[in-house]
Amino acid sequence: MKLTFARLGNSHIAGKALLEALGIDVVLPPPPTKRTMSLGSLHSPEFACLPLKVNIGNYLEALEKGADTIVMVGGIGPCRLGLYGEVQRQILEGLGYDFKMIVVEPPQGRLDHVIRQLREITGAQPVTQYIRAGHIGWSKLTAIDALEKLALELRPFEESRGCVSSALEAALKCIDEADSPKAVAFALENGKEAMKSVCRKTDSKKPRIGIVGEVFMVLEPFVNCEIEKCLGEMGVLVYRSIYLSDWIVEHVVKDAFRIFRKSKLPYELAKPYLCHFVGGHGVETIASTVDYARQGLDGVIQVAPFTCMPEIIAQDLLPTVSRDLGIPVMTLVFDEHSSGTGVLTRLEAFIDLVQMSRRARR
C-alpha cells in the first residue's frame, strides 16, 4: 500500500511521521504549484470551492508518483467538505485511476468507529505501536505550530526581508528529519533560536491583525497568496485563529472520547450575532473576530474560498460585529484566478486604514 493525503500547510510533516511510524509507505503529493491548481480546476465542478480543486490536484500528482490509497477527512455538513470524499472518488475513478479511498468520518463519540477506521488503514497492530506513532506525530505537529506562531511574532522585526521565513523553512526541515520525540524537541529549540537570531530587538508598537476564516484558506499559504508572510513583511503582527493541533484536540480527540466537554467558548462569543451551527468555521470566524476585538487588535481579515456557505454567512454578519466593537474587518475571497496583485492592493490599503485609525485615536 502506498498511501497519500491532501496537503494542508506544513501538516504533512506530522502526518507522514505518524503513518511511517506505523510502517505505512507514504507518498506525499508534491508542494502545490500552478500545475496542481490547473489539474484540479480542469477536473473539478466549476462551482466547487477551492479546497476541492486543490485536493484533486494533490491527489492527481500523488497518483502520478505511484500512490494507490487516498485518505481523506469526512464531515457531517452543512459544509460541502463531507460530500467531497465521494465526489473526489468519482472524479478520480472517472479519469481511470485504480486506487482505494478511505474517508475518515468525525467520531461523534464512537471510539469504536475510530478504531475500525484506523485498522482499515494500518492493519492490526499492537496498542503500544499506536501510542509510539501518535507520540511522534503529535510532537511534530505541535512543534510545527509553535514554529509557525513564532514566525508571526518575529517577521515584523526581521533584519532583512524573508530571513525569518528562510529560518522557518530550515527549522521545519529539521523537524521533518527528526526520528524521535526527543529529536523533535531538540530541533524545535534550535529552530526557535535560529529564527530569533535573525531579528532585531525593538519595542516599537506594530499594528496587530487577526486572520480568521475557513481552515484550508487560513492554513495553506499557496492558496491565500502567503498572506501571513505578506503582512509580516509589511510590519504587521499577525494573529492566526486556527492551529491544526488545537483543531484536532477540539474536533477529533474531544469528539472521540466525549469525556471532555467540547469547548463552548466560540458559541458564547458568537452568540449575539450567530447562535446556530452553520458548518465549517462560520461560528468560529465570528467568535474569533469578537475575541480579537476584545484583545484590542487593530483589525481582522477574513479569508474564504469563493462560494463557501459558512463563510458567506459569517461575512454578512461581520459588518455588524465590526460596527459594534469598533474593529475594522476586511474579507478576502479566493478562487483559482486570484492574483497576488489584487490581494496585495487590498492588504496595503487595509494596513493604511489601520495605521490611520491608530494615529487618529492617539
**Site residues for other proteins per CB under 8 A:** 30-31, 33-35, 161-162, 226, 306, 316, 318-320, 322-323, 328, 330, 333, 335, 341-342, 345-346, 348-350, 352-353, 356-357, 360
Distance CA 293, CA 327 (A): 6
Q: Which residues pair with 299 in a beta bridge?
A: 209
Q: Work out how close the CB of 91 gets to other proteins at its nearest, in angstroms, rounded to a whole number.
A: 23
Q: Work out how close the CB of 318 gets to other proteins at its nearest, in angstroms, rounded to a whole number.
A: 8
Count Cβ neighbours within 10 Å for each residue of 203-240 and write b for 16 or more, e otherwise: eeebbbbbbbbbbbbbbbbebbbbbbbbbbbbebbbbb
Contact by Cβ (8 Å): 321, 290: yes
Q: Work out how close the CB of 338 gets to other proteins at its nearest, in angstroms, rounded to a whole number.
A: 9
Shorter beta-carbon distance to other proteins: residue 107 or 305: 305
Shorter beta-carbon distance to other proteins: residue 35 or 200: 35
Position 314: which residue type? A
Q: What is the DSSP string of 40-67?
A: HHHHS-TTS-HHHHHHHHHHHHHHHTT-
Q: Work out how close the CB of 112 gets to other proteins at its nearest, in angstroms, rounded to a whole number.
A: 42
Q: Work out how close the CB of 82 gets to other proteins at its nearest, in angstroms, rounded to a whole number.
A: 25
Q: Work out how close the CB of 292 gets to other proteins at its nearest, in angstroms, rounded to a whole number.
A: 16
Shorter beta-carbon distance to other proteins: residue 193 or 348: 348
Distance CA 294, CA 7 (A): 33
Q: Is the C-alpha dihedral spanning 90, 92, 97, 101 positive or negative? A: negative
Q: Work out how close the CB of 34 gets to other proteins at its nearest, in angstroms, rounded to a whole number.
A: 6
Contact by Cβ (8 Å): 345, 314: no
Shorter beta-carbon distance to other proteins: residue 189 or 352: 352
Shorter beta-carbon distance to other proteins: residue 171 or 330: 330
Compute CA distances 336 → 18, 30, 42, 210, 340, whole Å: 31, 18, 11, 24, 11
For residue 61, which of 88, 27, 100 has the smallest C-alpha distance? 27
Shorter beta-carbon distance to other proteins: residue 125 or 357: 357
Residues listed for the chain: 362
Shorter beta-carbon distance to other proteins: residue 24 or 231: 231
Shorter beta-carbon distance to other proteins: residue 55 or 165: 165
Beta strand pairing call for 208-213 and 299-305 = parallel
Q: Work out how close the CB of 53 gets to other proteins at its nearest, in angstroms, rounded to a whole number.
A: 15
